[in-house]
Amino acid sequence: MLHRTLAFIAAPLLLAGCTTTLPPESTGTASKQRADTLGLVSAADPRAAQAGATMLRNGGSATDAAIATMLALTVVEPQSSGIGGGGFYVRGEPDGTVTTIDGRETAPAQAGPDWFLDAGGNPVPFPDAVLSGLSIGVPGNLRLAAQAHEKYGKLPWSELFQPAIALARDGFSITERFHQYLGLGKGRADKTEFGKALFYDDAGEPLPVGTTIRNPQLAETLQRIAERGPDTFYDGPHGEELASAIAAYTPGDDVMAAADLTSYEAKWRDPVCGEYRSYRICGMGPPSSGATTVYAILKQLEHFDLTALGPDSPVSWHLFAESQRLAYADREIYLGDSDYVQVPVKGLTDPDYLAARGSLISASHSLQHVEAGKPAGVALNWADGEEPAENGTSHFVAVDREGNIVSYTSTVEGPFGSGLTFGGFYLNNELTDFSLVPEKDGHEVANRVEGGKRPRSSMAPTVVYDAQGRLVIAVGAAGGGTIPVQVAKALIGMLDWGLSAQDAIALPGLYSPGDTVAIEPGSALVAMKPQLEALGHKVIERQMPFKANAAQWVDGRWVGAADPRSEGSSVSE
Ligand code: GLU
């Protein structure tokens, strides 16, 4: 089940040395495509975009730039992502080759279905679960970065860390958005003495906008990993101390052990690709629900002439809402970690299946009732779990001069993750992306907790090729369950409505994963409320955590785009 309330965030804030296997690849039509610039980086924070752009200027690849951006975000946007969390990396090459790496956090080996249940078998209150070691999964970003760098990096590993080290050591200033997060993050960002002292004044209030923050502890952590490599994070004293800190955060509970850190692997995964009209859309498969959900929303609408309807038609938004309802019904039941449960990816993305699902959609009225379909490959009768939504994520895109693109979404799950700081960074609360309950009505939940398993994600880093086989778009977003919807909306905006990436991202938000349609207050959709209601929808206005970033191939060059609702920006080199 996808809860409609955000557990932590209040409305105003919403405005705002492991095994290496050969990567599976999806290869499309070869084409010649090369940027006439050094490339670009688009990120949710200009300083992080700049960190990535510096790598491009120094001769780095898109992968180098993306890693430097991820590291810089650890410093300047700690509420959203960092080395204490995980992420998904999707890389597109101009010849059509797509590779993906799964750096999702894992549950400790000893975790089991009762991980979030109390002695009476009831789920522990969500905020208690978040603010404890129970929610902390083994961070994946550094091993993801190491694997990507080993194969696609051009610059030395240590060089990627320099901008982030400088930001942490020399200081960065508190932005408006970060200040808001610090205000709403009381009780979480200030949970440790370290977090409190770093970001709050003596009265416990967030330091003012413009205050320079220096984080020498994080600078030291980054410096050590830069010099000694990623394993120094997972193995030896650092791993042991990290495990002890988590144990001390949650006395009496079984939590992550040093061995869980040592054994962590980032995994090369098959990209999930499908045709939408004349385009090939590729993204991140399980444990993310991102690609299958984005693709279903689009493909189920393929028989409608969205171009003729356009963005000003309430019918367009009604159709978008209906397709979301169908896609999320499937997502809630079938998506989980495919290393543990059979996820029918092929069935869920089968064009005939999606055409049949799409034929349920009527342009003249909303469906009374929506339930999951029966895609091919379904082995069991799963139940819909309990996964409260949060938002603490960042998406960034890097393009290099060879025209390779990295579309990378990085997260600590909720803002400031679990609240636990260690070595100058926040540890994630990703494990609360699992269903807190392992079964419902006698049926198991696909996304239940299991030892070593990865929680289901919504993150949807995406790349798109056009009919000529040219790589034309990279896009992704932050915002919990809204992520696939933001990505699908941006793609409809660009592919069906001919908008620029910037205008497509700026289109109003409409989120309809269940029987209620949430529309973005103050947007053009508010005026369409009566028509949407006349089509049978229950419509509410609600601020939602939208924050997307993209790059688009326009007239022979790459153009970056960042969500106007965010502080994001892009830097071209
Ligand atoms: N942890 C969430 C996921 O993987 C993302 C949270 C967010 O975007 O804010 O889907």
d(C-alpha 485, C-alpha 481), whole Å: 8
The residue whose CB lies within 8 Å of the most ligand 1 atoms, and thus the one to mutate among 393, 416, 456, is 393
CB 190 near ligand 1, within 6 Å? no
- What pLDDT sits at residue 32? 53
CB 88 within 8 A of CB 395: no
Surface-to-core class of residue 212, CB atoms within 10 Å of its CB (0-12 exposed, 13-18 middle, 19+ buried): exposed
Q: Is 498 annotated as a binding residue?
A: no
Q: Is the CB of 433 under 6 A from ligand 1?
A: yes
Which atom of ligand 1 is least distant from the CA of 458? Answer: 10
pLDDT at 252: 77
- Look up residue 154 and give its two tokens: 């051009």
pLDDT at 28: 45
Mutate which of 390, 434, 544 to test ligand 1's pocket (most atoms within 8 Å of Cβ)? 390
Q: Are 83 and 233 in contact (CB under 8 A)?
A: yes
- Give the 3-state secondary structure of residue 559: strand
Residue nearest to atom 6 of ligand 1 (CA): 480
SS3 call for 517: strand
Whether residue 36 is annotated as binding a ligand: the answer is no
Q: Which atom of ligand 1 is nearest to the CA of 391?
A: 9
Q: Is 457 annotated as a binding residue?
A: yes
433 is in an annotated binding site: yes
Q: What is the DSSP-derived secondary structure letter of residue 38?
A: S
Cα(352)–Cα(349) distance, integer angstroms: 9
With a 6 Å cutoff on the Cβ, whether 413 touches ligand 1 is yes
Instruction: Find out whether 142 and 485 touch, Cβ atoms under 8 Å.
Output: no
Q: Whose CA is nearest to atom 5 of ligand 1?
A: 480
Residue 68 Cα to ligand 1 midpoint, Å, equals 21
State the pairing for strand pair 279-283/462-465: antiparallel
* The one-letter amino acid at 471: L
Judge if the upstream peptide bond of residue 287 is cis by omega within 30 degrees of 0: yes
The verdict on the CB of residue 479 being under 6 Å from ligand 1 is yes
186 vs 203: CA distance, rounded Å: 12
141 in Cβ contact with 72 (< 8 Å) = no
Ligand 1 centroid from CA 196, angstroms? 24
Nearest 5°: phi and psi at 536?
Answer: 105, 10
Q: Is 428 in the pocket of ligand 1 (CB under 6 A)?
A: no
Q: How buried is residue 119: exposed, middle or buried, by Cβ count under 10 Å (0-12/13-18/19+)? A: exposed
Task: Tell me which residue of 294, 329, 278 sits closest to 459, measured CA to CA.
Answer: 294
Q: How far is the CA of 482 from the centre of ligand 1 (A)?
A: 9
Tokens in use for 290?
């991102």
Buried b (16+ CB within 10 A) or exposed e, 408-430: bbbbbbbbbbbbbbbbbbbbbbb
Sign of the CA dihedral 212, 215, 220, 221? Answer: negative
Kindly give the confidence (pLDDT) of every residue in the chain, 573 residues in length, as a single tens digit, with 9 standing for 90 and above.
443 233 333 322 322 222 233 344 444 444 455 656 779 999 999 999 999 999 999 999 999 999 999 999 999 999 999 999 999 999 999 999 999 999 999 999 999 999 999 999 999 999 999 999 999 999 999 999 999 999 999 999 999 999 999 999 999 999 999 999 999 999 999 999 999 999 999 999 999 999 999 999 999 999 999 999 999 999 999 999 999 999 999 887 889 999 999 999 999 999 999 999 999 999 999 999 999 999 999 999 999 999 999 999 999 999 999 999 999 999 999 999 999 999 999 999 999 999 999 999 999 999 999 999 999 988 767 887 777 666 789 999 999 999 999 999 999 999 999 999 999 999 999 999 999 999 998 899 999 999 999 999 999 999 999 999 999 999 999 999 999 999 999 999 999 999 999 999 999 999 999 999 999 999 999 999 999 999 999 999 999 999 999 999 999 899 999 999 999 999 998
**How many angstroms separate the CA atoms of 337 and 562, rounded?**
30
Closest atom of ligand 1 to CA, residue 459: 10
Q: What is the distance between the alpha carbons of residues 573 and 567, in angstroms, rounded to a whole number?
A: 20
Global pTM?
A: 0.94
Q: Pick from 330, 275, 272, 332: which is nearest to 298 by CA?
A: 275
* Ligand 1: centre distance to CA 483 (Å): 8
C-alpha 426 to ligand 1 mean position (Å) = 15
* Cα three-residue angle 342-348-352, rounded to 5 degrees: 140
Whole-number pLDDT of residue 381: 76
HEC string of 180-217?
HHHHHCCCCCCCCHHHHHHHECCCCCECCCCCEECCHH
Distance in Å, CA 203 to ligand 1 centroid: 31
Give the residue whose CA is nearest to atom 1 of ligand 1.
Answer: 413
Nearest atom in ligand 1 to the alpha carbon of residue 413 is: 1
For residue 194, report the distance from its CA to the centre of ligand 1, in Å.
25
Which pLDDT score, from 0 to 100, does residue 377 have? 87
Pocket test for ligand 1, best of 2, 294, 413 (most atoms within 8 A of CB): 413
DSSP secondary structure of 439-502:
EETTEEBTT---TT----B----EEEE-TTS-EEEEEEEESGGGHHHHHHHHHIIIIIT---HH
The verdict on the CB of residue 265 being under 6 Å from ligand 1 is no
| Residue 480 marked in a binding site | yes
Is 411 close to ligand 1, i.e. is its CB under 6 Å away? yes
Catalytic positions are: 393
- Distance (Å, whole) CA 321 – CA 318: 5
Atom of ligand 1 nearest to the CA of 104: 4
